[in-house]
């Protein structure tokens, strides 16, 4: 049997290494912190948004939200506080339920 190696160099969910090892494979990881972690989260957000845009799969949106929660936590904000910010903005500016496309604004 020929050994193969795939290089990923990307942020993964916490249990992914255990899942890989359960398949009898060896994986190498490192823990990120500080700016390196934030940059990895931002790269992951782009990856997950692109995967959703290609597939339109609800599970990709789940991944997007989980990455957003990671970014929020890295800012020192918990999910409840984040939800309060979201609800405040919803109250002040509305949501997207009315499907409004702003075409142009003319100043007098």
pLDDT in tens, 2-26: 788 999 999 999 999 999 999 999 9
What is the pLDDT at residue 41? 98
Going by C-alpha positions, the residue among 30, 8, 16 that lies closest to residue 63 is 16
**Residue 70 in contact with residue 41, Cβ under 8 Å?**
yes
Q: At residue 1, does pLDDT exceed 70?
A: no
Q: What Å distances lie between residue 2 and 5, 19, 44, 59, 78, CA to CA?
A: 10, 21, 31, 34, 46
Based on C-alpha coordinates, what's the Rg of the chain?
19
What is the pLDDT at residue 3? 82
Give the separation between CA 69 and CA 51, rounded to whole angstroms: 18
Quote the percentage of the chain above a pLDDT of 90: 95
Q: Residues 33-74: pLDDT tens digits?
A: 999 999 999 999 999 999 999 999 999 999 999 999 999 999
Query: Which pTM does this prediction carry?
Result: 0.88
């Amino acid at each position: 049997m020929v050994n193969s190696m795939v290089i990923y160099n990307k942020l993964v969910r916490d249990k992914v290494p255990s899942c890989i090892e359960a398949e009898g494979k060896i994986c190498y990881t490192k823990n990120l912190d500080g700016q390196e972690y934030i940059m990895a989260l931002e790269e992951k957000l782009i990856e997950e948004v692109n995967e959703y845009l290609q597939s339109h799969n609800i599970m990709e949106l789940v991944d997007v939200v989980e990455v957003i929660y990671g970014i929020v936590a890295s800012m020192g904000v918990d999910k409840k506080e984040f939800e309060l910010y979201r609800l405040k903005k919803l109250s002040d500016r509305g949501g997207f339920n009315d499907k409004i496309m702003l075409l142009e604004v003319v100043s007098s």
